[in-house]
Structure 1
Amino acid sequence: MLPLATYRLQMRNGVDFDTVIADIDALTRLGISHLYLSPVFTATTGSTHGYDVTRPDEIDPALGGLEGFRRLAEAARARGLGIILDIVPNHTAFSLENPWLVDVLRHGQASRYAQHFDIDWSAGRLVLPWLARPVQALLAEGALHVGQDARLGPVLVVDDLRLPLQGDTQGPLEEVLERQSWHLADWQAGSDSITHRRFFNITDLISMRVDRPEVFDDTHALVLDLVARGDVQGLRIDHIDGLRAPGAYLERLRGRVGPDVPIWVEKILVGDEPLPDWPVEGTTGYEHARDIARVLTPPAGVAALGALWSGAVARGTDYAATLTAAKRDILRHDLAAEVLRLVDLARAALKDDPEHDPGPETLRQSVIGMLEGMPVYRTYFGEAHQAAEDAAAPLDAMRAHVAATLRPPLTALRLIDVLAEAQSPEEAAFRDLFQQTSGAVLAKSAEDTALYRFVPYPAACEVGASPEAPTLPPEEFAQTWASMPAGAMVLTSTHDTKRSEDARMRLVACAVLPDAVQVLWHETCALPRVQAALAGGMRKEELWTLMHSLLAAWQPADLAPDLAERVAGYLQKAMREAKEISVPGYPNDAAEAPALGLARALTVLWQANLPEAAAALIDRGEVLSLVQLALKLLARGVPDIYRGCEGPSFSLTDPDNRRAVDLKALSALDQQQDFAGRKYRLTRSLLSLRARRISDLRGAGGTQVEAAGRGYLVRRQTASGVICAEIRPGREPVLRHEADEQAA
């Protein structure tokens, strides 16, 4: 059964099953139908997110274990609520807390789990890049020795590491190490010599081979049992594009859970890219958040902001060039190991081709050129779900890119043909890894690099969005939302969005009121504290980011006493992700210092005396937030509310958007007469309306949004008439049904 609406809860960070049970009445009163839980399986000690799973066959004792989860399931059932679980089939933790991995370290390829992990055993021993310094240096210093562990038996001891040893542990330590199925290395080996497939560039996460039936069974046994018992009513699949064969995986999962359990996939669709014909209800909904922001964005406002930003920072407004440069940066540094592995597979794929005998550099440039030219996250060649018409665009884009950038492009063009029509096991191996890698390249280069470099209009710098397409005509929006599947999830905030929903709408307000942004920018630049920071080496790029981030997150000091540190923390992350003056893992503290000092000072200044132009943008953002809420909760699909977002949510990217929230306190917003109260009451009213008219809302009918003075009208066509939400500045939103004109 499809949910009426879901409520996403971030487990951990002080939230366990008993915490949710204590808050469940407040959530029930809100009007949602399903709790949507972040991963609950055992993860590394102190995990703040749960995606670093160590035991997919166990509910984390830190959350309350299996018994705690069953208590929550019973409490939810008693209130008519279902539970949706976020599961992580792509990877587990590359950690000694992972018992399956420990078994592999102990027994090598003889381990029952040796083929569970995506390890390239043909490349030699499993590389463990866990040392602070090269192993030879530590050996020379006598920093490594054989010891005994009560749990693991004979172990290699180095600092806090205890690595299980196999075979004879007598004799010179160098010989003992040579007998192991693993090779200990320093952390820098993660750049070029790892032998396991990782999640993006995170070496501490190891990918799983869930395409193998026995691995699927072992990793899904517990969750399938929870579904069969009726404790879980839906599943969200994390990072579906990381799997070797996503379509086959989903077919297997659908066959095991049956046709009535909803399944959603975390899948970023680019532009008008369609979702493959998978047996799922839809994606988790990033494309819908993108469409809401786009339809509320005036093209003229975006153009004005682009001109202001370009003139201020002396940069061009070609996002495609920024993205290509970011891809080259990521492929050279963060994903260099993946490029090397693809080069090896490309060599093997072409070894029997008499027309192609490329050298290593030609192969490397060809692989990089193909990855640079990929316009979407991945293709699905080798599976029945890859429609020829959907594959044509990415293939054409890759061919055009390599033809324009490589001299000569012949090897790359041949490898593109291999991708589309693999004819041998070697060609299929190249195709599969390329498809698994391309998504990581686009995610790291777009979401985690280019969207921090190219920021004329930060509202479009969002997961699933693109600065190249920041607007959407209302008529196209209406058509798109009319064709939305009834089971598609519709989100506006998640644990991964760059800004929470209300923060993003303040940035959309910048396009609605670009003159106010111009005034705010010039006033900000003229401040003596800002002038001093610029004179001290701070760039205007960081000042622009700071001003918009502070605008997005601003709240008065009594509501956000920690805002100065939050904004400074975000600005530091933004500078490092942009990778121009500082980078993650290799920060330039001296370059960051002027900007971070200004971030704290400017926040204090704004909390003491909010600039008039900023206040105008914030006021318009409140109206837009309520419009966004109406669009989401009147949608044909399944609205998802991120925890705390029934009230005001002015968070920046993680970890800021994963801070704890007091769900009980949110219920008290019902009595407030400001934006917080209006948003909470509109959420409850729309959810109540949704419950009464769900058959109408899931039926055919478009959605229109139009400006009406300083306010907006949202109209949702249904079989029984038009539901209208009227949003006016400073007023309580009004809901009407045109059939009777009574308040809904």
Structure 2
Amino acid sequence: MILSGLRPLTGTYRLQLRNGMDFSAACQQLDYIAGLGVSHLYLSPIFTAQTGSTHGYDVTDPAQIDPSLGGRAGFTQLSQHAQRLGLSVIIDIVPNHMAFGLQTPWLHDVLRNGAASRYYRHFDIDWSRKLVLPFLPMPFEDMLHGGNFSVTMAPDHHPVLRVVWDGGGFDVPLCEAPQLATSPVTDPSQILAVLQRQIWQLSYWEQERDAISHRRFFNITGLIGLRVEDDQVFADAHALTFDLIDAGLVHGLRVDHIDGLADPTAYCVKLRERVGEHVPIWVEKILTDDEPLPQEWPVDGTTGYEAGRQIARILTPVAGLQRLDLAWRAATGETGDFHTAVMQAKSEIIVQELAAELHQLIALGHQALAAQWGDQVGPEAMREAILALLQHFPRYRLYIGSKYPEIAGDHDLMQHVTQQAAAAVRSDRVVRALGAILTAPNDDPGRAFVLRFEQVTGALIAKSQEDTAFFRYNLFLAANEVGAEPDAATLDVPQFNNWLQSRQAQWPRALTLTSSHDTKRAEDARMRILAIAHCPAEFAQLFDAEFVQMPGVQANIGWYVVQSALGLFDPRRDDMADRLAAHMEKALREGKQISNWMHPDLTAETAVFDGARALIARWQKQVPTQVQKITDLAQSLGLLQVALKHLMPGVPDLYQGCELGAYQLTDPDNRETIDFARLRQGAALSGYDGAKAALTAHLLQLRADRAAFFDMANVSITVDQDAPDHMVLTRQRGADDHVIKLRFSPNLASAPQPISGTSLLPAGHHYPFDLVEAPMTKDLSAATKPQLIFPVSG
């Protein structure tokens, strides 16, 4: 039952479950969360996941709430307690994939019962061949003849293949098996005969990129795609979710990785029809460059990466970034731009990490052209054409394969990509033929090719840009963020004004995030790094002083180390050296230039780790003057980020712990255990933590108190006519209503005099901007002026 007294949607609080945070522990913090002024408790996945999962996106059973979190009873208690405090509950659902392992009941049933299994068609598996299980720690033949396999009975009296080795083992259910004697079958020839009758085959894990037969999440073989485009699969995968909504225990949904689905448009329509208009739906959709969220989707908006990007861009000075760029190139010898880095990464990722997907596309491409060309297309011509099309595709995906009308702009985009790809190959004949299919498929083989192409492009851009180029192109790490474009790291006033007004008109209930479990850096770490564009000369001096003390480290890597150290530096913590070294391990292996995950270069890595640890040790003894200046400036930028986040159109989403200074780097650092006892001190804390906590709670309460105003108020950002190095963000609703104005300077210049009106800032702390409410006297939206390049120090 939905309890009365729930607050209207004004702000969300994202809580990461697991790692010590279960439903019971969450209940203990609800009074604090409700006291902040948010309207919704926003939970990471609650469904049963793999044993030991730290995040919950590796779901094993979507029909069960994870017992390790407290099960259905624990969740019911949490939801009811939240509702008594006025909070609605949002859950994170994962329709794209499930865990690909023997703990997944649906998959276990498929392995045991084969085509007779109820779940045989639930997973996205190529059943033209056996299902490949790349679970072996050694080559198959070695284990077969090494005595690692036996056919025996499981405790449930069903035959299994038992696989054991030093340190591990598992049982795989057998679908076709002989009657067993008392003793297990251990003869290799007899075991091989049994395995040949199965619908699956085991393989060595290192061979997965050449041999997989299921659709996976990006390049993570341990996650298998779901076919939620099928009505029965959709019903089974969402049965518990719908039951929780119908029972009044869940009131909103976040949809993970919408672009992995076969038909995102159809999925959104079907989901909206089932849950109704009263349940808000947000989709995790990464928008690249100026890509819009499809208006055809009946959702409330995205999870908000693009909003965080725009805040960072408006706070980044053009001139300062240009100076930083010159310093970076002089110090490191780097010459390329980010686009070149991404194109190079794409050419590597598609033939390495995504080689299996490339093989599938080549086969589907041949089938798509068979009716027209027969077997006249050679394998290399097909490979070359597909590589060119993939490399030049700039977004996560197209939606041409949808059963619904085409998304606006998709046809023109694909034609443009085809032209670019055609110009990049020796013969454009195959490229143009495939481009025509991708633009307008007219038969089943063509539609199958389009579908797979649309699903692979998202994996390719994510792995190439976010997980490779972001760790190579190290100029300005504040711009190396999910949903951001490092080669478009700044924004002028008219551009920001247009974006704000478009968001208010089209997606006023979209989330606005500045930190999440997936951002590359927490919001204050990002502001620390963003601050170096405000004082590039000081950062260059700092780099020079530190890099000479990093023997054996490449300059571009050293540039990354110093920025990352700035991001996480917090003298109150004694784990900074370990955290920075752990982050650099991930950065080096994701960058894949001097090391990688499969074959790490420990010697090269150790030099970087030692340099990073030594840097932290020096700063702990004496903070360099440049570090002090940058971190001081970053605090002002961080407070301004909080103000913009809460006053711009959209719903502010507060990630756990970010009420105070948040200096974590990428996961798992940004999923660490939260000190709620410290959070509860809030505004009573001294310094930046207290100022940020007070401002956050104050603005969340303002949003709650003025919910109708912020829902309907127009928005504009202009250059202040009285202080040309300042901007004014204005929210107004009608000519006779009051107006809320935020006046700020991106370079934090002092204003000549306070802006007129009643201050809306919390008392007891200093803030580097004005926030006032005043009677409406004129329409300020016409005051927009051309771009100003704000001055920078250094």
TM class by shorter chain equals: over 0.9
* Superposition deviation, residue 167 in structure 1: 2.2
Corresponding letter in the other structure for 1:104: V
* Superposition deviation, residue 731 in structure 1: 1.8
Corresponding letter in the other structure for 2:520: K
Residue 147 of structure 1 pairs with residue 152 of structure 2: yes
1:723 maps to what in 2? 740
Call closer, same or farther: CA 1:435–1:47 in 2, change over 3 Å.
same
1:337 maps to what in 2? 356
Residue 514 of structure 1 pairs with residue 536 of structure 2: yes
1:270 maps to what in 2? 288
1:176 maps to what in 2? 194
Counterpart among 599, 602, 612 of residue 612 in structure 2: 599
* Superposition deviation, residue 475 in structure 1: 2.0
Deviates more, 1:652-661 or 1:583-592: 583-592
Asked if 1 retains the 8 angstrom alpha-carbon contact of 2:738 and 2:776, the reply is no
Q: Distance in 2 between matches of 1:187 and 1:514?
A: 46
Residue 223 of structure 1 pairs with residue 241 of structure 2: yes
1:80 maps to what in 2? 86
1:564 maps to what in 2? 577
* Superposition deviation, residue 663 in structure 1: 2.3
* Superposition deviation, residue 227 in structure 1: 0.6
Q: Distance in 1 between matches of 2:378 and 2:318?
A: 48
Residues 708-734 of structure 1, C-alpha deviations (whole Å, 9 max, x = no match): 999976533212333234677982465
Corresponding letter in the other structure for 2:49: A
2:773 maps to what in 1? 737
Residues 85-118 of structure 1, C-alpha deviations (whole Å, 9 max, x = no match): 0000000000110010001111112211010000
Residues 46-66 of structure 1, C-alpha deviations (whole Å, 9 max, x = no match): 000000000000000000000
Counterpart among 644, 647, 652 of residue 631 in structure 1: 644
1:95 maps to what in 2? 101
Q: Distance in 2 between matches of 1:721 and 1:607?
A: 49
Call closer, same or farther: CA 1:246–1:740 in 2, change over 3 Å.
closer
Asked if 1 retains the 8 angstrom alpha-carbon contact of 2:411 and 2:439, the reply is no
Q: How does 1:181-260 map to 2 (within 5 A)?
A: 181-260=199-278
Q: Distance in 2 between matches of 1:704 and 1:126?
A: 56
The alignment partner of 1:483 has SS state of: helix
The alignment partner of 1:702 has SS state of: strand
Asked if 2 retains the 8 angstrom alpha-carbon contact of 1:4 and 1:33, the reply is yes
Call closer, same or farther: CA 1:451–1:348 in 2, change over 3 Å.
same
Asked if 2 retains the 8 angstrom alpha-carbon contact of 1:376 and 1:394, the reply is no
Residues 257-303 of structure 1, C-alpha deviations (whole Å, 9 max, x = no match): 00110000000111111111200001101110110000111111111
1:128 maps to what in 2? 133
Call closer, same or farther: CA 1:106–1:711 in 2, change over 3 Å.
farther
Residue 544 of structure 1 pairs with residue 559 of structure 2: yes
1:421 maps to what in 2? 440
Corresponding letter in the other structure for 2:420: H
Deviates more, 1:712-721 or 1:692-701: 712-721
The alignment partner of 1:46 has SS state of: coil
Asked if 2 retains the 8 angstrom alpha-carbon contact of 1:278 and 1:385, the reply is no
With normalisation by structure 1, the TM-score equals 0.95
Call closer, same or farther: CA 1:586–1:714 in 2, change over 3 Å.
farther
1:555 maps to what in 2? 570
Q: Distance in 2 between matches of 1:152 and 1:334?
A: 40
Asked if 1 retains the 8 angstrom alpha-carbon contact of 2:134 and 2:207, the reply is yes
1:675 maps to what in 2? 688
Q: Distance in 2 between matches of 1:193 and 1:576?
A: 23
* Superposition deviation, residue 335 in structure 1: 0.2
* Superposition deviation, residue 391 in structure 1: 1.1
The alignment partner of 2:359 has SS state of: helix
The alignment partner of 1:722 has SS state of: strand
Counterpart among 397, 406, 427 of residue 378 in structure 1: 397
With normalisation by structure 2, the TM-score equals 0.89
1:587 maps to what in 2? 600
Q: Distance in 2 between matches of 1:739 and 1:684?
A: 24
Asked if 1 retains the 8 angstrom alpha-carbon contact of 2:17 and 2:43, the reply is yes
Counterpart among 170, 187, 209 of residue 161 in structure 1: 170
Call closer, same or farther: CA 1:593–1:434 in 2, change over 3 Å.
same
Asked if 2 retains the 8 angstrom alpha-carbon contact of 1:670 and 1:681, the reply is yes
Corresponding letter in the other structure for 2:243: D
Q: Distance in 1 between matches of 2:587 and 2:527?
A: 19
Deviates more, 1:669-678 or 1:389-398: 389-398
Residue 363 of structure 1 pairs with residue 378 of structure 2: no
The runs of 5 or more residues in structure 2 that have no matched partner are 1-6, 181-188, 751-764, 778-794
Corresponding letter in the other structure for 1:182: W
Asked if 1 retains the 8 angstrom alpha-carbon contact of 2:471 and 2:587, the reply is yes
Call closer, same or farther: CA 1:711–1:600 in 2, change over 3 Å.
farther
Deviates more, 1:231-240 or 1:510-519: 510-519
The runs of 5 or more residues in structure 1 that have no matched partner are none
Q: Distance in 2 between matches of 1:50 and 1:624?
A: 33
2:331 maps to what in 1? 312
Corresponding letter in the other structure for 2:489: P
* Superposition deviation, residue 522 in structure 1: 2.0
Corresponding letter in the other structure for 1:139: L
* Superposition deviation, residue 309 in structure 1: 1.1
Q: Distance in 2 between matches of 1:214 and 1:473?
A: 49
Call closer, same or farther: CA 1:2–1:238 in 2, change over 3 Å.
farther
Residues 600-629 of structure 1, C-alpha deviations (whole Å, 9 max, x = no match): 111111122111111111111111111111
Call closer, same or farther: CA 1:235–1:388 in 2, change over 3 Å.
closer
* Superposition deviation, residue 703 in structure 1: 4.2
Asked if 1 retains the 8 angstrom alpha-carbon contact of 2:38 and 2:704, the reply is no
The alignment partner of 1:12 has SS state of: coil
* Superposition deviation, residue 211 in structure 1: 0.3
2:458 maps to what in 1? 439
Corresponding letter in the other structure for 1:222: L
Deviates more, 1:250-259 or 1:136-145: 136-145
Residues 10-39 of structure 1, C-alpha deviations (whole Å, 9 max, x = no match): 100000001110011111111111010000
Asked if 2 retains the 8 angstrom alpha-carbon contact of 1:152 and 1:164, the reply is no
Q: Distance in 2 between matches of 1:627 and 1:357?
A: 61
Residues 458-517 of structure 1, C-alpha deviations (whole Å, 9 max, x = no match): 111110001111111022112211221211111100101010111111111111111221
Corresponding letter in the other structure for 2:529: L
Sequence identity (%): 43
Residues 130-182 of structure 1, C-alpha deviations (whole Å, 9 max, x = no match): 11122112112222111221147211111111011122336811100101110
Q: Distance in 2 between matches of 1:265 and 1:390?
A: 20
Root-mean-square deviation (CA, aligned residues, Å) is 2.0
Asked if 2 retains the 8 angstrom alpha-carbon contact of 1:331 and 1:339, the reply is yes
The alignment partner of 2:544 has SS state of: helix
Q: Distance in 2 between matches of 1:450 and 1:712?
A: 34
Deviates more, 1:31-40 or 1:301-310: 301-310
The alignment partner of 1:455 has SS state of: coil
Asked if 2 retains the 8 angstrom alpha-carbon contact of 1:627 and 1:712, the reply is no
Q: How does 1:473-552 map to 2 (within 5 A)?
A: 473-484=492-503, 485-526=507-548, 529-530=549-550, 533=551, 537-552=552-567
